[in-house]
Structure 1
Amino acid sequence: MKVVTLPVLSVAVSGGRVYALLKESDGRLSLASFNRELEVEDKLAALKGSRGFVLDAWRDSLLFSVDNKLYALRGGEVKSVLRAHLPVNIFWHATRANGHVYVQEYGESPTGIFELDRDYESSRLLITNRDLDKGSKHFHSVVYDPFRGWLVATLGDGNLLRVAVSANGGENWRPLYRGPWQFVPIVPLKDTIVFGMDSGIARGGVGIYYPSKKRWRFIFLKWINERVKLAQMSDLKLLSNGLWVAALGTPQAIVVSKDLKTWYPLYVEGFDEHFNHYMQVSVGEDFIACSTGRSLLVFRKDEVYNALNKSEPAMA
């Protein structure tokens, strides 16, 4: 494991490089690239702002948000692509499908899912959270499911509709799950779709949808230390070796599991009850990179595997 103490808000791995968005002391956010040894290779851009995420890294392009604006970096030039509905909102997640990029807005209602062309030259609003559920506050994430050709979106808070899908590129949507449990991360697989909980009702867990049976199964989890009230997922990834890696928004931790039932600590940074949106995981060919808002981390995949044998469970 390699760790550098830097205020890294978001991370994305592409082509063996680690792209990170850092909060500078002068009120700016800077976009930089690192090698896997966490040495700075290049400073790519700097913009005034306090919050942001790296949403997409593709070929020679990067898509990232700063406060309520979405930016594209291509050929060393930064251009503004999109503005959120409200000044307090931000763009949190993006996914690629069929020559387009779909971007999810987060914050105060209304929030939207937008379609961009692959070069970020044009954009349009597809739907808002209010269109799906008038009682919802915002979208939580959007992911393309290549096995079923769906766009899958999660949304909350305090509403009934938690997951919706579109089979035609966001033109029309239908409910997939109505109920008490809400989710942020989405992982589509051949036979299932796995969702990481950030519910305020359940302490923690995952939801598993079986498309062929149209059924749901839920695994409820809690941090083994009883002083931790909630264990809410901010990010979730399945590695090529079959291991799951999750970033928890609260407590601030990176954990690993082989069965979604028992989770072992890779890195524990803090126990703040406030959800940390900057807890992220990005997967490279033989390593993963993580951001925490305070640190930038890199783990080799063998280190991830070894955590199953070298530590006691943190969550089950």
Structure 2
Amino acid sequence: MANPSVSEDGVYLITGAAGFIGSFLSKRLLEQGCRVIGVDNLNDYYDVGLKQARLDMLHPYDNFAFAHVDVADKASLTDVFAAHRPRVVIHLAAQAGVRYSIENPDVYIQTNLIGFFNLLEACRHYPVEHLLYASSSSVYGANKKVPFEETDFVDHPVSLYAATKKSNELMAHTYSHLYNIPATGLRFFTVYGPMGRPDMAYFGFADSYFAGKPIRIFNNGDFEHDLYRDFTYIEDIVTGIERLIGRPPAEQPRHKVYNIGNNRPEKLMTFIEALERALSKAMGQGVTFEKIFEPLKPGDVPATYASTAHLQEAIGFKPETPIEVGLQHFADWYVAYYGRKS
């Protein structure tokens, strides 16, 4: 059934369309008859083959077009806007990863700051009805008050990645104020599911198991004070975005930020045990990870926990897929995609 938040009229431009969230969102909109322009630079931060596989899901749709463009290339990005005049822009392209930002800071400035500036400039010169963009739960830093609420103080990021996402929120607020661009920031909380990002812990755990290697858990082996994460299933993320599309902020400045999380943090060890069970079922045989416990890494935070009250009030929805269900979908896909089943 068509969602009243989206319309077949006009163009939806999605940056990061070959990414995890971008590809699933593109597919959802295409299924509803929307015209989607996907933008991605197909960088090699992780397996380009997986990115291509996601695009392969989208190419059969006649109303999908792909632009191989880097958002940091201002001229090329502006050309895409000039050619397609998008009605709605969903900006999901970013250099992701907390730990990688410590090793390779330059790319975060180029993509997450300059790229986002280029996008805002394009929306300024080719006005859109709504700009939605990816922020992150990482903006909450090491906040100890939980659950995290959108009104919380977020001026103490603990990674460069988090700092770039907080900067995006400030930039979007300023452009909304100066140029009346309706903009909505989306603070995602640990998104997981089939065709997900290989740099995420759950994906890496599966890779390590099938490579005959132990998994590394960065919690000091402290089970009583284990890390907590608000794991959010990909389809819930897409539903949240889809429903927000038709709700651009009306009050000045036309900028709002929403948490999109499961509102039900799980212990990391509970999540790992659920993944073992999901892979066991997908494989038809018992799967147990060999585990090595190590200290918390710089930039990591002890807990992420989303308050979703504002999201629920705005769109009547909050993510609630249990990890057992979401991880089973991931495990079934992983085993089939990589041919792990004997």
Indicate whether the TM-score tops 0.5.
no
Higher strand share: 1
User: Which structure is richer in relative contact order (CA contacts within 8 A, separation 6 or more)?
Assistant: 2
TM-score, reference length from structure 1: 0.29
More helix by percentage: 2
- Normalised by the length of structure 2, the TM-score is 0.27
**Which protein is bigger by CA-based radius of gyration?**
2
